[in-house]
Structure 1
Amino acid sequence: MGRMRVLVAEDHQVLARAIATGLRRQSIAVDVAASGDEAERMCLLTDYDVLVLDRDLPVMTGDEVCRKLRELVDPPRILMLTSAGSLEDKVYGLERLGADDYLAKPFDFAELVARIRTLGRRVPKAPADVLRHAGLTLDRTRREVTVRGRAVELTPKEFAVLRRLMEAGGDAVPHDELVRTVWDEHLDPRTSAVRATISRLRGKLGDPHLILADAGHGYRLCG
């Protein structure tokens, strides 16, 4: 399993920066959102393991964000932060909003890290039918691909290569693995088939830099 990735949605800049810095020191990858609408948008574009979500966010409240994300096929684990720490607030956050955990402010940073790690260690979520990465959406069931809402027609091999790259979530997929999983074991690994398919994909997706050749490792998605 790769490094855990967390989104911190907190409009208090000093607190958000402190949380992010502390988590990075724990070898956790962190992004920060300062408003509810930004947090929702980032979660639609990136597959976060855990969302640390303040309830009192501007533009869209944390409660609204939580409700909207729960409609996704594969939402992140949600740890709600709030200044209201009563039992009623906790029950509301966990049962009515669908949060996975609830932490009242002020909190001890060590406890925050422990709760995040616990959420990240929970039973892995079933693979989502819909994969998302940097504006790309791939529906594995319907075999449909869109780029920022624009439908893209792909051949079966192009679709299979893109699906494997998106399943890797930005990690490099070895050339030999693409040959083995998309074509078959009898295909000469020195063939240019993978390189040609990647080239066509870049053209159809409209961004030659979206799929990078990772020297010695294979190919990976960037963004």
Structure 2
Amino acid sequence: MSHTLSIEHAGAPLQADNKVLIMLHGRGSTSSDILSLAKYFDIDGYTLLAPQATNHSWYPYSFMAAKQDNEPWLSSALNIVEETVKTALDAGVPTENIYFFGFSQGACLTLEFLGRHAKHYGGAIAIIGGLIGEQLDHTAYTGNFEQTPVLLATSDPDAHVPLTRVKESVAILAAMQADITLRVYENFGHSINQEQIDLANRIIFNKS
């Protein structure tokens, strides 16, 4: 089984001189749900692309399950993200004008895709997520982010994403020359807060 490519578009029309924000929803959610968060970000003039997971889940088990247990859905989900990026590239948008936002399962998928396809992107925000797998295969993560700004924010504790995995992910991405900002909120819960939105606007979307 695999995902069917279905990308919901919002914001400005897709064209070469626009910035693009790819938004990845969490388990049980929809592309429309994740797009509804766009109004909180300083992204006037951006094109928004939000792929939809088949059956509302990118992969069936925990992101910390053995990778083979989440196949073939995980590989298919990563391919969907790659096809969404290709949609922007085919329109003439350079990688440095492509941005990412993911929450929960979508944050995990965002980080896993970026770890496997490191380039100089515009920036990325991953709220409550980490790289995927029971044990992380460091050899799978290659390339250079060339100081792409990446914001990771999480709650400690979180019922689904342990802080140890978030920190392990930070170390890997930082070694690949990502410009990492990590924020940990004690007992905040599995959600998004205003400070995270403000940080995203300041260090990702309004960076000089």
Q: Give the alignment's TM-score, normalised by structure 2.
A: 0.42
Greater length-normalized contact order (CA 8 Å, ≥ 6 residues apart): 2
Task: Return the TM-score normalized by structure 1.
Answer: 0.40
